[in-house]
Structure 1
């Protein structure tokens, strides 16, 4: 039994359910109106993920795009039928920071209703595409609460060229007071006066797995807190279509070590104890 499981801390395993052509970094290359013409690979990649979770007895939270749910309702029902939490990633992967409050409210209400209609269970959680809630649009948290969401995982307390609020709290908190929405940040570790990503994304693929394991154990053991980990289905898919016309930086970030991700997720599943966000933070059964 691993140290993570011995510690008994339940960590939150989360998946942002979107396809490779929907990532924000490709927005200038793959037009939104061409999405229906792209080879969709989310179903096969989700089958891998659900099989891994089943093998290890893991229940997870799936932040799912309404666009995906609308076209692949059987996938949504598989998530629910296997005991996972269904949560919202918005409808069409529009960054919250690129929308007005009215547009954002329409998006989150639409996606919540769609997911609940297909999945047959309440949708309480939301994660903004590209962690796009920050100091300039904190009104989004009020909009989420008004729409019936009870927690968000959208404010990343790191410095990044596309997102992040470096001085935001590292662990679950209520930005708008005790009766407001609960914000649950993806995990970071703190060295000196800076937070470093520890909860997945490109960093999980770029660095050796042993570093991610060490960082997550540090969150459990030194901070005494659950770790929040996230990844995307396309990160397990080295055979996905390669995009032309993207920068070297974007190409590296998106494609680095895709062929290693599935084995790393397998290791992560075995090394730590995992559960759904709503069970860890809202006391759901």
Structure 2
């Protein structure tokens, strides 16, 4: 059986990244040209993807977000202000989610069914977010990074799509919840090397990314990949931040278009919602 992988893009301003948001003063967005670069690549390979859009971006650039939807791509929520859940209370998150949902609905005329937390901030400390998402009518989440990193992640979380139980959201259980979780891709059930995208895609060689996706697919598992449109645009680079911040934020930017094209040529990709619907169908 062939496996379709998830291709997703988190659409935010480049300077919204955790390492940069307090350091950057010259905030030239480059957002429209960055999105155009990505849309051209996707059109070349006839691939549809999911764009998790920050509500503030949808309000400020409704035509841009509409153009993404008009090209056949799914629009999901990435919060309203790109604040990680660590910085929010459940009540504040519910308000952010409502504003984000409305901004996306105003821009594209449909309601998002998928969510990704900024900074992958669904963790044991913020698992209350699952009930908030359920109450808001969302169908799936894609915020769990199933390996612990210095900035985020949940060690021991499942690596396959699974139903989120609000009482045990990082365990595979039968029933118990309304949301499907699409965890980010890690290489092999035992090794747990992040190959999901972002910094890891810019850092790791293409052959290792391909091996990671191939290994997951060989186990019948989809690889959920994520990128940011700004990562494909060298114009966002700045020297006005520390060497460490430049390394994490900009290393490998020049070669990412080629890496993505190689992945799109080698594997099948589709939207997050399409993979969720297929997973739900397989369970039934």
TM-score, scaled to structure 2: 0.90
Q: Deviations over 1:57-114 (max 9, x none)?
A: 1011000111111111111111111111110001110001110111111101110111
Shift of 1:54: 1.0
Q: Report matched runs for 1:1-285 at 5 Å.
A: 8-30=2-24, 38-176=27-165, 177-190=175-188, 192=190, 194-221=191-218, 223-246=219-242, 248-283=243-278
Q: 1:90 to 1:243 in 2, by over 3 A?
A: farther
The equivalent residue for 1:4 is none
Tell me how far 1:25 sits from its aligned partner.
Answer: 1.1
Kindly provide the CA deviation profile for residues 149-189 of structure 1, in whole angstroms up to 9, marking residues without a partner as x: 11100111111111000111111112314432211101112
For residues 31 and 274 of structure 2, the distance between their equivalents in structure 1, rounded to whole angstroms, comes to 26
Specify whether residues 243 and 105 from structure 1 end up closer, same or farther in structure 2 by C-alpha distance, changes over 3 A only.
farther
Find the aligned partners of 2:67 and 2:226 in 1 and give their Cα distance: 19
Whether the 8 Å contact between 2:56 and 2:103 is mirrored in structure 1 is no
RMSD, aligned α-carbons:
1.7
For 1:241 and 1:260, the matched residues in 2 are separated by: 14
Q: Decide whether the 8 Å contact of 1:19 with 1:233 is kept in 2.
A: no
Does the CA-based 8 Å contact 1:166-1:195 persist in structure 2? no
Deviation at 1:40, TM superposition (A): 1.4
Which structure 1 residue ranges, 4+ long, deviate > 3 Å from structure 2?
Answer: none
Tell me: CA distance 1:148–1:165, structure 2 relative to 1, closer, same or farther (3 Å): same
Structure 2: gaps of 5 or more residues = 166-174
3-state SS of paired residue (1:270) = helix
The separation in 1 between residues aligned to 2:91 and 2:141, in whole angstroms, is: 18
SS of equivalent to 2:23? coil
SS of residue paired to 1:44: helix
> Are 1:142 and 1:180, in contact at CA under 8 Å, matched by a contact in 2?
no
Q: 2 CA distance for matches of 1:143 and 1:10?
A: 29
Q: 1:198 and 1:207 mapped to 2: Cα distance?
A: 8
How far does the alpha carbon of each residue in 1:186-230 deviate from its partner, in whole angstroms, 9 at most, with x for none? 1112364x5211211111111211110111111101x21111111
- Report the TM-score when normalising by structure 1: 0.90
| Count of aligned positions | 270
